[in-house]
Amino acid sequence: MSLPHDPHAWLEEVDGDAALAWVRERNAVTLAELEGAPAYAPLQARLAAILNARERIAHVAKHAAYFYNFWRDEDHVRGIWRRTTLAQYRLATPSWETVLDLDALARDEGENWVWAGARFLPLPAEAESDAEAKTDHCLLSFSRGGGDATVVREFDVTARAFVEGGFALPQAKSDVGWIDRDTLLVGTDTGPGSMTSSGYPRMVREWRRGTPLEHARIVYEAAEDDLSASAYKVFTPGHEMQFVQRQLSFYASELFLRQGDTLLKIDKPDSANAFTVRDQLVIELRADWETVGRTYPQGALLAIALARFLRGERDFAVLFAPSAARSLDAVAMTRSALLLTELDNVANRIVELTELDGAWSRRVVDAPALGSLGVAPVDRHGSDEYFLSVNDFLTPTSLYLGRAGTDERELLKALPALFDASRLTVSQQHAASRDGTPVPYFLVMDKDTLLDGSNPTLLYG
C-alpha cells in the first residue's frame, strides 16, 4: 500500500534551502513580536550581562596535571580552550594557559566553528606522576554553526597544534572513543549503508592509526531502522572492558560485552541503562523488571558482580529503591565510590555507596538540605575527589571540592551575591491535596514575617 502524499515532506530535509527559508520566516515573525515589547531591550541587556559576566564559575575537567575549561565572553565570542593547575584554580584570579583559540582558528580556516568538546585518552594509573604520560593527544570536535554533525581532529596539547596525519573525521554525526594511543572505536558516515535511517552511525569500526578508515575492521552493524550503534572502552585499572551499544530508540537499547571477536549480550531489559563500576554491573531500571521470581520496581538501581551475572545469577543488591516522594536524579563514580544524587520531596540529597566483596555500604553526605546539588568526579579512575555544585534560593551557586569518605570539602568558587539574603529565610512545607497526598513546596520570606494570613505572596510552580 502506498503512503499518502505529504505536502510538508520537504521539511524533513533539515538543511535544505526551502526548510531553512521557512525557519527564517517563522523566526522573523517571532522576533518582530518579541523585540516590539518595551521590556525586551532592557531584559536582553541584563541577561547578556549575566551570561557574559567574568565572575561566573569556570567549570573544569581534569586530565593529567591540568584542569581544562572552555570559556566564552565578549572578547572570545567563539571561545578559548584553556588550562590551569589546581593550585592556580584555587585562586580568585587563576593564571590560565590558552591551548586553543577557537576565534583565531575559525578566522584562519574561514569556518563557522562551534566548540563540541574534547576527549582525552585516560591517563594510565601507573603514569599518574607524569604530567603528560603519552596522553598529550586528544580528539577535538567542532560543528559548523552548532549543528549535530561534527568534524573530529586529533590535537596535541603540548605542541598546541593539530597532529599532522593524525586521526580526523569529516563532518558527520559521529561517535568516537579511544582504545589506546593508536586505536579508536568509530561510528561515522563512510558511505552508503553506514548510517541508520535516523542519520546516526549504523556501524562500529576499530580504526588503527595510519590505515584508511574504510578498511577498518567492522566490530558491529545495527539494523538500518535502529537509532544508532556505538562502542566504548572502560578504562578502570584492573577492570578494562569494551562495550558495544545498539540503540533501538531513544529509550531502548541493547548492550554487548566485547570479548575478542565475540559480542556477549548483557541480558537486561531494553528500557534499562547498564554500566560497570569496577567488577560490578549496575542497572538502572526505567520499568518494572521481573527476573528469577522477584520484581524490581521502575526507578531502582541494581548491582551485581559482572562475572556472576554472566553466569546467570540474578541476586542483585538494591542500591536505590524509589518511593512516591523519592527518585534517583543522577549517578557519579569516583575511584572507590558511587555518589547518588537523590531527589526526596523535590530536595536533593547525596548518598555515598562503597562496595567490598559484593556488600555495599551506604552513607548520607552532609550537604545543604534545601538546595540543588550536582556531583562531578574529578578523575573517576584515579581519584576519590569530586566537584560539588550547590545552589539554593538564598545562596549563589557555589563549587566545592569534596572527597569520598568524608564530609569535609573546600570552597573553590562562588558567584557573587546579587541581593542581600541576610534578612530572608527558606523552609520546606507541605500542602494536602484533595486526595490527601502531601505536596511539598518551598517558602521564602523575611525572617520577621508575621504569619497572620495578610502577606502578599507570589506563587509559582
Percent of the chain's residues with pLDDT above 70? 97
Residue pair 73/54 in contact (Cβ under 8 Å)? The answer is yes
Question: Can you tell me the mean pLDDT for 353-364?
Answer: 94
Residue 39: which residues within 8 A CB-CB, separation 6 or more?
A: none
Residue 19 maps to a domain = yes
* Residue 25 host element (H or E): helix 17-35
> Across all residues in the chain, what is the average pLDDT?
93
Residue 34 maps to a domain = yes
Residue-range definition of the domain harbouring residue 19: 9-51
Question: Can you tell me the mean pLDDT for 215-229?
Answer: 97
Rounded to 5 degrees, what angle do the CA atoms 213, 214, 218 make? 90
Residue 32 maps to a domain = yes
Residue 25 maps to a domain = yes
User: Is 425's pLDDT higher than 70?
Assistant: yes
Residue 21 maps to a domain = yes
The pLDDT value recorded for residue 293 is 93
The pLDDT value recorded for residue 386 is 98
User: Is 132's pLDDT higher than 80?
Assistant: no
Rounded to an integer, what distance in angstroms lies between the CA atom of residue 187 and that of residue 202? 7
pTM of the model: 0.89
Residue 42 maps to a domain = yes
The pLDDT value recorded for residue 344 is 92
Confidence of residue 126 (pLDDT cuts 50, 70, 90): low
Residue 17 maps to a domain = yes
46-57 residue pLDDT tens: 888 877 777 899
User: Is 131's pLDDT higher than 50?
Assistant: no
Nearest to 335 by CA among 237, 233, 234: 237
Residue pair 291/298 in contact (Cβ under 8 Å)? The answer is no
Number of domains in the chain: 1
With H, G, I as helix, E, B as strand and everything else as coil, classify residue 62: strand
Q: Which of the two residues, 128 and 184, has the higher pLDDT score?
A: 184
Question: Can you tell me the mean pLDDT for 239-260?
Answer: 97
The pLDDT value recorded for residue 125 is 54
**Hey, which residues does 340 pair with through a beta bridge?**
331, 351
The pLDDT value recorded for residue 129 is 47
Confidence of residue 1 (pLDDT cuts 50, 70, 90): low
Residue 44 maps to a domain = yes
Signed CA dihedral, 448, 450, 456, 459: sign only: positive
The pLDDT value recorded for residue 72 is 94
Percent of the chain's residues with pLDDT above 90? 84
Question: Can you tell me the mean pLDDT for 236-242?
Answer: 95
Question: Can you tell me the mean pLDDT for 236-244?
Answer: 96
